[in-house]
Amino acid sequence: MKPKSTLATTLRYAVVTYLSASVFFTVHHFFVQYQDAQPLPPVRPKTMTEPGQGTFDVENIIYSQQIMTWKTPQGHPEHEIEEDAVLHKIFTNTMQPSKVLPYYLKAIRDFDPESVTITTLITFDRYLIFSKLVTNYQGPISVSIHITDDENRDENLSNLHDMYNSNPYMREFVDVHVIVDKFDRQFNMWRNVARFFARSNYFMMLDVDFHICTNLQRHLSLDARAREVMRSGAAVVLPAFEYVDQDDGIDSTTFPKNKEALIRLVEEHKITTFHDFFPKGHNSTDYERWYATDSVYKVTAYQHSYEPYAIMRKEGTPWCDERFIGYGANKAACLFEIYISGVDYWVLPQDFVIHQSHPYKEETRKQERKYNRKLYQNFQEEACFRYSQHFLQANLWDDPKAENLKEQCSKIRGFNKVMERFASPELAEQE
């Protein structure tokens, strides 16, 4: 009798085990299905091992269909558009298909609307230096990261989570926006993504390898004149420097922390203006004047190669033209359009940035630079006529805001002559 009852018990156990297992797997299956249907599942890195969190499902996150709801006049049903369609239109000049994932990782803090959000883009080889920037700034940062849509995609996303988790200040201050597509070096689009989703009224387009040496936020809060300039819609520049001996530029903890210390190093020829082999990139800042001043001043010698690091107002400042792809001219083109639209550049008296040394990869850059230089010439001409139309038709041709345009665009052959005709239709009719 005994053996039989043992057998019966074993069988019963087996049945019960089978049943619970299948219930478990069915429930699990539905749960996973259900999770898949959620518009935004909690994002977890693959490497995160807390119980119950499992691994994240990249397909689901990347191709989730969020709906944007548009308010309508009272009594009418709200209108819904897929987020993908909205983003496609926002970034309409970029190569498609491209999937933008806004706030893929979002900081827990709310930011003062008057604060300055650093907007930047990072690549995998810049994670460490980015982490230093975050620790140093301790203010809002909006960063774009491009992930190539290939077999490494999930691994790269996972690395991104590791980076985010590696520094507690990330969670406090950094919003990460991910762009997943097959197109590399769409720098101006990536810049626009970081700016578009920035959560304060001002942004600074900064290259990630630049170190902000001073307490920028404090200086801005104390400098009423600078704030007034910013509020008026002008851009304020932080002069850029680099070490003469690249080895001195590796460890930002040794960098000067105020203007006096910096000037001493400049006088000792240890530090020089950034890329002084190409003066036009930064010399409109007028470094000699900067060394001597303690108040904000206006840039009076702008030219189209000027590429300063500047804080600008988020609303009303033109966007970076996304048709520029690859190295060369992309930022200059952006800053040119901003300038001729009527935004003046001013220079902050106390604050500055220093470049942190790292080896450059130059192979791809040369050809692209050459070609983009050519495109930039055409772009200037096109932008000049576009903004001229704007000023004329808005009856702002004689407004001070049109001064920058007149000064820059009159360098283009034939421009003044055509504008005379536009500005006085009687002349045009006589022809």
Ligand X SMILES: *[C@@H]1O[C@H](CO)[C@@H](O)[C@H](O)[C@H]1NC(C)=O
**Residues within the interface to ligand X (CB under 6 A):** 124, 146-148, 152, 155-156, 279-280, 283-284, 286, 301
Rounded-to-integer distance, Cα 146 and Cα 176, Å:
10
CB of 305 to ligand X, least distance (A): 9
Whole-number minimum distance, CB 152 to ligand X, in Å? 4
160 within 8 A of 147, measured Cβ to Cβ? yes
Nearer to ligand X, 122 or 216 (CB): 122
**DSSP letter for each residue of 34-45:** HHHHSSSPPP--
**CB 289 to ligand X: min, Å:** 10
The CA dihedral of 178, 183, 186, 191, to the nearest 10 degrees, is -10
- Burial, 101: exposed, middle or buried (Cβ in 10 Å; 0-12, 13-18, 19+)? buried
First to last CA, the chain: 119
CB of 300 to ligand X, least distance (A): 8
Q: Which is nearer to ligand X, 159 or 357 (CB)?
A: 159
CB nearer to ligand X: give 289 or 386: 289
The 3-state DSSP class for residue 325 equals coil
Could you tell me if 403 and 429 are in contact, meaning their C-beta atoms sit under 8 angstroms apart?
Answer: no
Task: State which residue, 116 or 296, has the beta carbon closest to ligand X.
Answer: 296
Give yes or no for a contact between 210 and 354, defined as CB atoms under 8 angstroms apart: yes
User: 154 vs 207, which CB is nearer to ligand X?
Assistant: 154
Contact 360, 249 (CB under 8 A): no
By DSSP bridging, strand 240-243 and strand 271-273 are antiparallel
Kindly tell me which of 188 and 285 has the beta carbon lying closer to ligand X: 285
**Cis status, amide bond into 45, omega within 30 of 0:** no
Phi and psi angles of residue 288, each rounded to the nearest 5 degrees, phi first: -60, -45
Shortest spacing between CB 303 and ligand X, in angstroms:
7
* Residue (238 or 419) nearer to ligand X, CB: 238
CB of 146 to ligand X, least distance (A): 6
